[in-house]
Structure 1
Amino acid sequence: MTDAPFGTVLSALVTIFNDDGSVDLEQTQKVAKHLVEHGHDGIVVSGTTGESPTTTPAEDGEILAAVKDAVGDRAKIVAGIGTNDTRTTVELAKQAAKVGADGLLLVTPYYNKPGERGIREHFRTVVSATDTPVILYDVPGRTGSPITLDTYREAISWDTVVAVKEAAGDFPRGARLLDLGYNIYSGDDALTLAWLAHGAVGVISVAAHVLGDQTRTMVDAFAASDIETARKTYARMLPAIDAIMGVPNYGATTAKAALELTGVIDNRHVRGPLVALDDDEVEALRAGLEASGLL
């Protein structure tokens, strides 16, 4: 395992909301502190799990500044800046650089489904707007547009592009990305151990909101060539991972409900179009957390 530029265990931090739907910066900071106290050496703010499609650029800046103030001396802070509008993404990149983000997470433009040339130009324009290191984010299940190997080949020649969050589950391509010089972060909790075996430096997680210590144990054990400990830890984590990630209404909704069940936060408010887990979904989540020894 090579040196990881943004740490090895990161979560895409949830954004906590007040009863009226406004951002609760204090409680968001509380979750960030909880993560750093439980295995994390990096945090991604304003990712999909942070409900970035529903937050304004001004809110994104406030969240980033608050999290950096809370834990920036103990963890790398990466700003999610990806949108499906290049101008807005550039504005977010510049704002994140001004606040002092350690990195930028840049997802493929979603919904409008640009072709390969459009994706490449979007990336080039955003990357050139700052000197902050960039993690490309490939999650075609959400965006509808994969990053091609040709685009990866070109992007790695840009000085600040250093990593990829891989949520396409393409292990053979991952081997090629390593040869190109990318640091790979697993973007799928269930595949993290497999990605470590394929050369990934770490994970950008959802489930580690409540599995931070276990994820740290797994990652460190693998790095120390203690494969049996890594495998057994992974196996114990699976019920919780399945409960958090294995339902259609997952991500911010399940991470917040898991944090509520474990006593970290006192509500599971989300912004529409997401809806908070209902009672049956919470009980299914509880069962998964119990099976992994978290409750």
Structure 2
Amino acid sequence: MKGIFTALITPFHGDGKINEKGLRQVVRHNIDKMGVHGLYVGGSTGENFLLSKETKKEIFSIVKEEVGTQVKLIAQIGSLNIEEAIELGKYATDLGYDALSSVTPYYYKFSFNEIKNYYLQLIEATGNKMIIYSIPVLTGVNFSLGEFDQILNLPNVIGVKFTDSDFVKLERLKRLYPEKTFLFGFDEIMLAGCVFNADGAIGSTYNVMGDKAVAIYNLVQEEKIKEAMEIQSNMNQVIEVMIQHGVYQSIKEILKLKGIDGGHMKFPFSELSGEGKEEVKKIMELI
């Protein structure tokens, strides 16, 4: 479970329903044009936390049907409702997803033991491989090395989606657990994550720049850091504009400019502004 995984966007119709045709186009674009090694389905990039359980299931099903076994699939099933997370995990497992992932329980200040027991229940109920989704900046959950040790030694935990800029911790974790998979989660510093021995990366901008992410990943394996830095710098020029106008909105607009139906945003997200559309057009040559 290594390499570049796109955190898949979800195209919606104006009424908030899934745009199935657009979703299939986005999947094909990621596999056929971006050349990524896998898809991370149901993450925040897919506007997952705005969706009903049945809608999440529909997305898992459409993506699996379109992908088959062409690339690896990871289903993000995290929810504060453990019953929902388990149901989604069983559903994705039955569909044939290669692994599950779950964001650490957030909002309430859960103790470490409560969080550990959350993962243990998910693992025992689904029987699938688990990738812990650690993103302290959004969840407020920042595992120490000792806590990571306990989490990584749970049965079926194969690794971590590490969305954190603590490179010392990343280096220590990979040194201590070389058999585990660490997928880096910040697109704009992906190169640094790979240099600190991450096994790959998961990112939203890979929907439109996955080929560049794959190039960086390959160049790091070849120890061609200077060449990789040039590509990272190019990506960051694009990401800078995306952040100003909305990352997900910008990705969908770029896909539309490529002839792919990126669809609408899910309420309460707003659509890309007119100014944003003009700015996105200007960065197309960088993409």
TM-score normalised per structure 1: 0.90
1:212 equivalent to 2:204? Answer no
Q: 1:79 to 1:153 in 2, by over 3 A?
A: same
1:24 to 19, 24, 27: 19
Using a 3 Å threshold, how does the CA distance of structure 1 residues 282 and 144 change in structure 2: closer, same or farther? farther
2:146 is the counterpart of 1:150: yes
Q: How far did 1:262 drift? A: 2.9
- Kindly provide the amino acid, as one letter, of the partner of residue 47 in structure 1: G
User: More deviation in 183-192 or 110-119?
Assistant: 110-119
1:242-270 CA-partner distances (Å, limit 9, x unpaired): 222x33x63432321222233322x5411
In the TM superposition, what whole-angstrom CA distance separates every residue of 1:133-162 from its partner, at most 9, and x where no partner exists?
111111122222223333311121123111
- Take 2:149 and 2:66, find their aligned partners in 1: how far apart are those partners? 37
User: Which 10-residue stretch deviates more, 51-60 or 226-235?
Assistant: 226-235
Asked if 1:124 is matched to 2:120, the reply is yes
Residues 22 and 94 of structure 1: CA distance in aligned 2, closer, same or farther (over 3 Å): same
Q: Matches of residues 1-295 of structure 1 in structure 2 within 5 Å?
A: 5=1, 7-37=2-32, 38-181=34-177, 182-244=180-242, 246-247=243-244, 250-265=246-261, 268-290=263-285, 292=286, 294=287
Cα distance, 1:171 vs structure 2:
0.6
Kindly tell me the number of residue pairs found equivalent between the two proteins.
284
CA distance in 2, matches of 1:147, 1:127: 19
**Distance in 2 (alpha carbons) for counterparts of 1:273 and 1:145:** 26
Name stretches of at least 5 consecutive residues in structure 2 with no aligned partner: none
Native 8 Å contact 2:22 2:260 kept in 1: no
Contact map agreement 1:9 1:204 (CA 8 A) in 2: yes
TM-aligned CA deviation for residue 281 of structure 1: 2.3
SS at match of 1:136: strand
Structure 1: gaps (5+ residues): none
Equivalent-residue separation in structure 2 for 1:254 and 1:144 (angstroms): 27
Task: Work out the percentage of aligned pairs sharing the same amino acid.
Answer: 27
Residue 55 of structure 1 and its aligned partner are, at CA, apart by 1.7
How far the C-alpha of 1:108 sits from its partner, in A, is: 0.9
- The more displaced of 252-261 and 206-215 is 252-261
Q: TM-score scaled by structure 2?
A: 0.92
Displacement of 1:234 in angstroms is 1.6
State the Cα RMSD in Å. 1.7
Query: In the TM superposition, what is the alpha-carbon distance from 1:194 to its structure 2 partner?
Result: 0.1
Report the CA distance shift for 1:115/1:157 in structure 2 as closer, same or farther (over 3 A).
same
Measured at CA, do residues 168 and 250 of structure 1 come closer, stay the same or move farther in structure 2, by a change above 3 Å? farther
SS of aligned partner of 1:23: coil
> How many angstroms apart in 2 are the aligned matches of 1:95 and 1:10?
21
SS at match of 1:32: helix
Question: What code does the residue aligned with 1:120 have?
Answer: K
Question: Runs of 4 or more off by more than 4 Å in structure 1?
Answer: none
SS at match of 2:126: coil
**In structure 1, what is the Cα distance between the partners aligned to 2:102 and 2:8?**
16
The answer on whether the counterparts of 1:133 and 1:160 sit within 8 Å (CA) in structure 2 is yes
